[in-house]
Amino acid sequence: MKFVDEFRDQALAMGLAAAIAREANPARRYSIMEFCGGHTHAIFRYGVQDLMPENVGFVHGPGCPVCVLPIGRIDNALELAEQHGVILCSYGDMLRVPASKRRSLLKAKAEGADVRMVYSVDDALRIARDNPGREVVFFAIGFETTTPPTAVALRTAKAEGLRNFSVFCNHVLTPAALNHLLTAAALDVDAFIGPSHVSSVIGSRPYEYFTETFHRPVVIAGFEPLDVMQAALMAIRQLNDGRAEVENQYIRVVTRDGNLKARAIVDEVFERRESFEWRGLGAVPDSALKIRDAYAAFDAEKRFSIVTRSAPDAKSCECAEILRGAKKPVDCKLFGKGCTPDSPVGSCMVSSEGACAAYWTYGRFRERAASEAA
């Protein structure tokens, strides 16, 4: 296969669906967690769940970087944005996530704060160069996929002596979250579909610990519907055989050791935090990165003496349970009623990788929620 249309071929999809139906043992249930929010959206956009037999189900995991950031860290971003002379640069999704008292960066911008949406950290660097008399802070979020560009930007800022640029670092780590789910959350899941873009950086090797320790298959998959379906079939075959291995369906991108150059840059600029709070998971050890002392001059947490305080989610919002895989978006009383993309209560309805946004965007649950509200 060379072109994206081939990964969405209907005849191939029906063939995979038939193979899954043949191999799924009707005497048991298969519960497969897709860790990444990108997979969740692929499943709902292309109706992958509808092609599965009744005893094969997908569980949505915490692989949405916007969703897992706790309210306290968004409060910190708001505090930065409201400081005199600061330009806060952020990815678009983060602008709409509600913080304490339902405020957001978008509302702060409407009230006069200089908050700017950027498409990459390079945009933030350019803004800092163009505004030498202003403090420019990049609100860095994301898993291992977006961490290398932030590391490169910090190296660039140091090399240029760009003293008005800093990073508010909120990069988090996939394996630590997976370990927490399997140990602290008592997760009732048979197998995992591993994230694709994250794995292109870290490789498949880190997942070997989970197959050996917890005896759960992990199949790394691409984002197209045929990728997800083939990964599900591979996971079912492992479960039928009593195996627990790391398999790489996404061989066109992912290797066992990942991107060694990107990993080296990240290790140069960042080190692990002892603990970091995740929405839905609580404090997770060794699950996030902070800026090393060699780059401390560009660390917004140190430059602005940031102190993070925990803050509760909105009342009745089930984002925490959804991110743990304990509930689905339709289990939330607010879904489609008090919480919609136009007026989100929780982060899972905001992000392009959020589970609630996936349920809403592709229609089937949106109409049901609207009829119940009426």
Does residue 85 share a domain with residue 144? yes
Q: Would the pLDDT of 369 be above 60?
A: no
Q: How many CA atoms lie within 13 A of 223 on its CB side?
A: 13
Give the model confidence (pLDDT) of 112-135 as tens digits.
Answer: 999 999 999 999 999 999 999 999
Q: What is the percentage of the chain residues whose pLDDT exceeds 90?
A: 85
Q: Would the pLDDT of 208 be above 80?
A: yes
Enclosing domain of residue 162: 67-174+258-303
Q: Is residue 179 part of a domain?
A: no
Does residue 264 share a domain with residue 132? yes
Distances (CA, A) of 273 to 86, 270, 305: 26, 9, 17
CATH number of the domain that residue 297 is part of = 3.40.50.11740
Binning pLDDT at 50, 70 and 90, where does residue 15 land? very high
Q: Would the pLDDT of 370 be above 60?
A: no
Q: Would the pLDDT of 374 be above 60?
A: no
Give the model confidence (pLDDT) of 22-63 as tens digits.
Answer: 999 999 999 999 999 999 999 999 999 999 999 999 999 999
Q: Is residue 350 part of a domain?
A: yes
Mean pLDDT score, 207-212: 96
Does residue 165 share a domain with residue 264? yes
Tokens of 123: 């945009």
Does residue 87 share a domain with residue 208? no
Chain mean pLDDT for the chain: 93
pLDDT of residue 364: 64
What pTM, to 2 d.p., does this model score?
0.92
pLDDT of residue 337: 87
Sheet containing 30-36, strands listed edge to edge, beginning at the edge strand earlier in sequence? 56-63, 30-36, 191-194, 218-220, 246-248
Q: Would the pLDDT of 366 be above 90?
A: no
Does residue 349 share a domain with residue 288? no
Q: How many domains does the chain have?
A: 3
Does residue 84 share a domain with residue 167? yes
Contact 99, 112 (CB under 8 A): no
Domain C-terminal end among 206, 227, 248: 248
Does residue 51 share a domain with residue 93? no
